[in-house]
Amino acid sequence: MLCLGVESSCDETALALVEDGRLLHSVLATQADMHALFGGVVPELASREHYRYIGSLFDALMRRSGKRPSDIDLVAVARGPGLLGSLLVGVAFAKGLALGLGVRLLGVNHLHAHLLAVGLEHPLDFPALGLLVSGGHTHLYRMEAPWKCVTLGRTLDDAAGEAFDKVGKVLGLAYPGGRLMDALAREGKADGIAFPRPYLDNDNLDFSFSGLKTAASSYIQQALQPATWPRPLCSVDDAPQALKDCCAAFNAAVVDTLCVKTQRALDRNPQLSTVVLAGGVACNSLLRQRIADMMESRGGRALFPSPHLCTDNAAMIAYAGWLIGKEGYFHTLQMETIPRGRTVPDDMLCG
């Protein structure tokens, strides 16, 4: 079965083809440079750029893969959560293509696709514990099957990736700030700054990073002003040691919090011996090391996608579509698009 995946949930327009579980080819157009001018994604601009790119990307994908549109058996599309205008462009394109080709349509949960993407590179057995850490979400899942991920905990306000980017903006780092903060943290010392480990004084698996973001912003204003580095800061070489230490302390606080909740989830689900780390923050070097060490100490295993599969991409949508579609699941053309803030419903048909 040949599955086309369409991704347009935020500011990346991407399409990919997966055949029998193997990625054939993918194409992507990024809007990062444009949104960097505004310090964040502008939803109206993002949707217009998706509309501008998506048709030509499809043509390029067909040409480079050597496939024809008539070879496609299933069209999978990220239906949410995400920016509504951006999602609508991808969903409308997917619906039109499925209707025109006379093939099935499948709406994919963007968050679940992040977790499933690791299956493109590693054997993925179920059940497993999924830790999704991105700019918009910080969730823990019990992954029971490709089409069934049960939410164990979720972010209540700022997600971890959002906290990284917002603190990076306060520090004057080039957008997006999370990647550079990781590089700066590797050259800093975290033990001199006491940032809180937020929302741990409870017995649940939810996350809240707004307090940590506020504490870091307050420290920056009091201890690191006036700034002695160029703005926007684009290189680790231009950063003073005080900035590196601040990034190391903030990074450690986020990672400690994620690991405590992950450990808690594993203790409550002792039958789970695999942790899947996914999302943009899954590229964080300290988080990867800590999760790997945790699972080694428990006699389990940790699975990490390659960095290019951690950020938004269509390969994960196509692969998730292939996994779920081959079991007979699909959507009708009346499928609803789900914006951020709403739960993606379990409304697939099977047959």
Q: How many CB atoms lie within 10 A of CB 204?
A: 12
Calpha distance 269→65 (Å, rounded):
42
The answer to whether residues 163 and 254 touch, using CB atoms and an 8 Å cutoff, is yes
On whether 80 is known to bind a ligand per the annotation, the reply is: no
Calculate the CA 200 to chain-centre distance: 23
On whether 134 is known to bind a ligand per the annotation, the reply is: yes
On whether 346 is known to bind a ligand per the annotation, the reply is: no
On whether 165 is known to bind a ligand per the annotation, the reply is: yes
Structure tokens at 31: 């809007």
On whether 188 is known to bind a ligand per the annotation, the reply is: no
Calpha distance 90→104 (Å, rounded):
16
On whether 191 is known to bind a ligand per the annotation, the reply is: no
Structure tokens at 285: 């070097």
What are φ and ψ of residue 327, in 5° steps? Answer: -90, 0
On whether 110 is known to bind a ligand per the annotation, the reply is: yes
SS3 7: strand
On whether 182 is known to bind a ligand per the annotation, the reply is: yes
Of 281, 230, 228, 279, residue with least CA distance to 251: 281
Calpha distance 4→71 (Å, rounded):
10
On whether 21 is known to bind a ligand per the annotation, the reply is: no
What are φ and ψ of residue 12, in 5° steps? Answer: -120, 125
On whether 135 is known to bind a ligand per the annotation, the reply is: yes
102 burial (CB, 10 Å; 0-12 / 13-18 / 19+) is exposed
Enumerate the known binding-site residues for substrate.
132-136, 165, 178, 182, 284
Enumerate the known binding-site residues for Fe cation.
110, 114, 312
Enumerate the known binding-site residues.
110, 114, 132-136, 165, 178, 182, 284, 312
